[in-house]
Chain A
Amino acid sequence: MTVATFIGAILALLTLETMFWLLAGVLVGIIVGGLPGLGPPLGMAIILPLTIPLNAADAIILLVGVYSGSMYGGSIAAILINTPGVSSSAATMFDGYPMSKQGKAATALSISATASAFAGLFTIAALILFSPVLIQMVLAVGTPERFLVALLGLSMITVITRGSFAKGLLAGAAGLLVTTVGSAQPIAIDRRYAESLLLYDGIDFVAVLIGLFAIAEMMKLAGQEGGIAEGDVVIDRAGIKDGIVETVRRPVTVFKSGMIGMIVGAIPGAGATVSNFVAYSEAVRASPDPDTFGSGNPVGVVASEASNNGTVAGSLVPAISFGIPGSSSTAVLIGGLLMHGLQPGPSMFQVEGELGLTYTMLLALLVGNVVILIFGLSAVTRLGYLTKIDTDYIIPIVIVLSFLGTYALRINPIDIVTIIVFGIIGFYMVRYNYSVIAFVLGVVLGDIAESNLYTALQISGGTYDIFYNPFAYGRPLSFVLTVTILLLLFGPLVKGQLNRLRGE
């Protein structure tokens, strides 16, 4: 039955219309990723409202195409002008830009395209191969466990927060608070906080995401100068072949970095930025010649670019399995699923549910990586144009698309207020080191956590035993999850105190 669904997914993907949206998504992604200051979540957030007229499959394929394409596109600005198009390409700058200065821009861009595509291909292929096991795991998870998995996702705030721990928790709590506006799920009791009927459906989480990612980013960009290439970088076509050879000669680095990307990507909130640096550091550690990193070592570019495209596959696992975003981009993807009436969770893995769509999405990513390879290599000499577009033109158009897209979704004036308010809040949150991803985790997981908590308590007759007593309800997984959450939450504090006591 699953095989039949898989074959059905292949046939669904091979229609002209679906392939067109995939191609469009990847190309738009490369452009968005290549424009300094923009990135996958912003590109996806702007595209999201434009998918309204599309059917669910095409809409999701367009979004994952943008996601995958922008991961590669981010390397273009990093290599050519030492400004990462996306933060997940930051480590690419370390060696990509020096290569560019040495006249090897084409080689670096070619390495980027090849490593991105290869890592993307095998991580998605691994995900497809692993999917039968994943399906069994997801279907074994019941309502209490889904609540705990959502809580586990929220606990990841303690892992992803750098600097002040309290700031990370505050961001998460504030994000959760946003989800309490509007009718409470799953029992639809009015919870508006004010008389206005405009708040009845709550604060639209797509509007929150657009505010946080698009408006806040544009405000930030408006305060920055640069990000645009001042001089022309020479991109010699002859270097393309060298780049392919450099990548093919290093299958271990591509594989290892891709797997690092995939594993780190599956951790909620960690995302490609973290995996990018972890893979780069590992490449430096494993190299017999670590001193050459930072001055144009091609291995640095291979590691960095393989890892960020590997992250795409990893971050999809918690997103489609439990509705937990592995990254900001998958938060927007979850928004796309919900907008088109698809609920992340077991139904995405049931043959009678949306398993066909899940397979189509994964296959689309597989094909998308081939598009990246072909486009990336054939357009190497022209990619420099992207870095020359003035931010004065980008900012108003992104803001206009954000406003239009958000308002057109529901024609609710609250949504426009939302994008402005959260745009300003997002701007200052980033400026003062409050984790935006923790806030997004809260916004995305609030409804999931609350509705599953409510249903679980209905099952248990109101007692919380169901979450931690492995004997009372025959749910050992609940107990394991509860212990993991407690370790995540209090582990750092206890460890800090123990270290302090030892020091004294």
Chain B
Amino acid sequence: MGQDESTTADELIAGVRSVQRVLGDAIEPVLRERPTMEHVLLVLFLVTGAYMYLAAREFPAVVAEFPQLMAGATVLLSFLILARNYLNVVAPLLTAGIGAYAVYTGGMSFLDGDGGLIRVVFGIVLLVVTIGYRQQLVKGAESFIAEPMQVLGKEDILDEDLEEGVEKNRAEATGESQEIEEAEDTEGADTEEEPDSGAMYVYEIDDPKGPVVTGVLCVAYMLVTFAIGMLYATPLFVIAWALWVKMEFPKAAALTGVGMLCSYLFYDLIQSDIAEGWLTGWEPAPPDVLYAMYINPLVQPILQLIDRYIIFPILDLIGTVVPLGVIPL
């Protein structure tokens, strides 16, 4: 996927990066670390969890409890990870808040004669921990939330070179050696893009454009599918991919043929509804119908005109490719 020369895509990515940089500079003091896509992921979890928690209040009580519990956990954990640089404040506050809530709701249930004693005890324990063991609570929260790298900090890591060998041996025995080796290999590759991410995972991204373009092409594939159905969206996706990787024409044509064959087999053998655009309700004529039209002598004069005035000029523009031709009258 080598794309060495500067292209429009490169310019676009450069523009996006400069916006990223400005945003990053603005958000960094708040987060106390350089924002990365991890923060976007966490915000996504946080917002989705909050929305689902609130929406679940509309459900009948019997089916609302489970989603609210899960949404609550998602919100809480996302928030804690996002606020990992403020744990000395957030962890005691949150623990005290949960403790107070448990005491209140448990107490109300207990007074109503509906149980709740365990919740009260749980809440009191949390409050006691918050007040009496704050230091330990914060340390516990740090080890619960942060990656080992983030807990240690850069200086500690530099000081502990000696321990690295020991850690590597341990990792080898527990199956982490591959990850560590890859992380070491990729440190350089990733630092330029996301320099302060202590949580950076482990695999190599040689070309950051690759995943982005793949994602964009997938979204385009989806939109075209919704418009004209998957039968013809599929070869269009393959053509777009072949153009992106600058595949040689014969190989691209063969790959597009394979894509078309896949979609046609699905259409013919498994599910013919894939040919219909969901948004438009339009179902383009499938290849067998097109072929029947194509060989129909009545249509040939029109096809010859289309060939002469549309297809051939386009092919001339693309290059010196031999056209498929039409059946002579």
Contacts and interface: CB of A to CB of B under 8 A. Distances in A.
Contacts of A379: none
Contacts of A278: 173-175
Interface string A169-195: 110011011001000100101010110
A395 B251 CA distance: 14
Interface residues of B, number: 89
B172 to A, nearest CB: 7
Interface string B102-128: 000000000000000000000000000
Nearest to A497: B140
A392 interface: yes
A223 B205 contact: yes
Interface string B219-254: 101100110001000100110011001010001000
B1 A164 contact: no
A450 B63 CA distance: 9
B38 interface: yes
Interface stretch (A316-324, A352-360, A410-418): A410-418
Contacts of A143: none
Given A401-B262, A425-B41, 12 more contacts: A165-B143, A167-B199, A177-B48, A189-B62, A219-B215, A225-B2, A225-B207, A281-B173, A399-B221, A403-B225, A416-B225, A432-B199
B175 A396 contact: no
B74 A407 contact: no
A287 B79 CA distance: 48
A57 B247 CA distance: 41
A224 B140 contact: no
Contact of A166 (B41, B44, B144, B258): B144
B218 interface: yes
23 contacts: A52-B271, A53-B269, A163-B199, A164-B81, A173-B70, A173-B73, A180-B52, A184-B66, A223-B209, A223-B211, A393-B251, A396-B242, A396-B259, A400-B238, A400-B259, A400-B262, A404-B234, A404-B262, A405-B266, A407-B271, A413-B226, A431-B37, A431-B201
Interface in A478-504: 493, 496-497, 500-501
Q: How large is the interface on A (under 10, 10 to 19, 20 to 34, 35 or more residues)?
A: 35 or more
A169 B73 contact: yes
Interface of A: 49-50, 52-53, 87, 90, 162-167, 169-170, 173-174, 176-177, 180, 184, 187, 189, 191, 193-194, 215, 218-226, 273-274, 276-278, 281, 392-393, 395-397, 399-401, 403-405, 407-408, 411, 413, 416-417, 420, 423-425, 427-434, 446, 450, 453-454, 493, 496-497, 500-501
A341 B40 CA distance: 38
Interface in B58-81: 59-60, 62-63, 66-67, 70-71, 73-74, 77-78, 80-81
B215 A163 contact: no
A177 B70 contact: yes
Contacts of B222: 403, 416-417, 420
Contacts, number: 233
A41 B207 CA distance: 25
A191 B58 CA distance: 9
B263 A400 contact: yes
B66 A432 contact: no
B99 to A, nearest CB: 17
Nearest to B266: A404
Interface stretch (B26-34, B145-153, B301-309, B321-329): B145-153
A50 B266 CA distance: 9
Nearest to B37: A428
B43 to A, nearest CB: 12
A163 B146 CA distance: 8
B70 A224 contact: no
Residue of B210, B211, B270, B273 with most chain A CB atoms under a 10 A cut-off: B211
A404 B230 contact: yes
B206 interface: yes
B203 A404 contact: no
B96 interface: no
Given A191-B59, A430-B203, A174 B45 contact: yes
Interface in B161-198: 172-178, 197
A336 to B, nearest CB: 16
Given A403-B230, A403-B234, A395 B70 contact: no
Contacts of B201: 430-433
A193 B73 contact: no
Contacts of A220: 203, 205, 211
B78 A404 contact: no
Contacts of B63: 184, 187, 189, 191
A395 B48 CA distance: 30
A113 to B, nearest CB: 23
Given A180-B52, A180-B66, A273-B175, A222 B77 contact: no
Contact of B200 (A219, A417, A423, A432): A432
B230 A407 contact: yes
Contacts of B56: 180, 191, 193
Contacts of A53: 269-270
Which among A166, A215, A396 has the greatest number of chain B C-beta atoms within 10 A? Answer: A396
A302 B251 CA distance: 39
B214 to A, nearest CB: 4
B215 A423 contact: yes
B221 A219 contact: no
A50 B269 CA distance: 10
Contacts of B81: 164, 166-167, 170
A169 B73 CA distance: 9
B263 A432 contact: no
B210 A420 contact: no
Contacts of B176: 162
Contact of A165 (B144, B175, B197, B221): B144
